[in-house]
Amino acid sequence: MSNLPKKLPEIKILDEKEKKLKEKSKEVTFPLSKEDKKNIKDMMDYLEMSQIEETREKYNLRAGWGLSYIQIGVPKRIFVMVHEYEEGKFKRYVIINPKIKSVSEEMVYIAEGEGCLSVNRPVEGIVPRHARMTLEYFDEQGNKQEIRVREELAVGFQHELDHLDGILFTDRIDKKNPFKDQNKYRSI
């Protein structure tokens, strides 16, 4: 926790009622501005703090591990993820201008349901996602990268990719039958 800020970064996460969340985000040009670099760091610090019980309780946060730029009101094709891969150890991802290279045929869903820091209510239903995917993207320095993700991380990446196209996870749940075809997919 030593390199985390002493207080919560001031970011305002848009609520699902905000029309801006439905906007399609635009490609990013390099180099990144100072403001973009600060936003990226603040978003990642916020996510990490939300996953640590002590700071989550101190600031009354909901735990989250992904945020897209559009969720802070900026329609740029950037998302960040902070994944706790081991108790108290986090891996940070900054994904800029992502393009999907490949996805698995196997589909999965999060057993307890997906959540979103922009959706402040419980939501029933499943969101079928690819179990594995490969993405091409740019890092903060503008270097082209490739990453292969699986299971929960793949679901998180797809959730954030949807945000870049103005899609919320709630849009992917069948309104008439929220658990439609559940038996066709593997729960994780």
- B/e letters for 144-179, b = 16+ CB within 10 Å, e = fewer, are eeeeebbeebbbbbbbbbbbbebebbbebbeeeeee
Q: What is the 8-class DSSP label of residue 104?
A: -
HSE-CB for 41 with a 13 A CA cutoff = 10
In this structure, how many other beta carbons lie within 10 angstroms of the beta carbon of residue 184? Answer: 9
- CA distances from residue 53 to 43, 91, 102 in whole angstroms, order as listed: 18, 17, 36
Annotation marks residue 48 as catalytic? no
List phi, psi (to 5°) of 151.
55, -130
What is the spatial distance between Cα 44 and Cα 103, in angstroms, rounded to a whole number? 26
Q: What is the rounded end-to-end Cα distance, in angstroms, of the chain? A: 29
Catalytic one of 112, 136, 146, 160? 160
Beta strands 107-109 and 186-187: pairing type? parallel
The residues assigned a catalytic role are 160
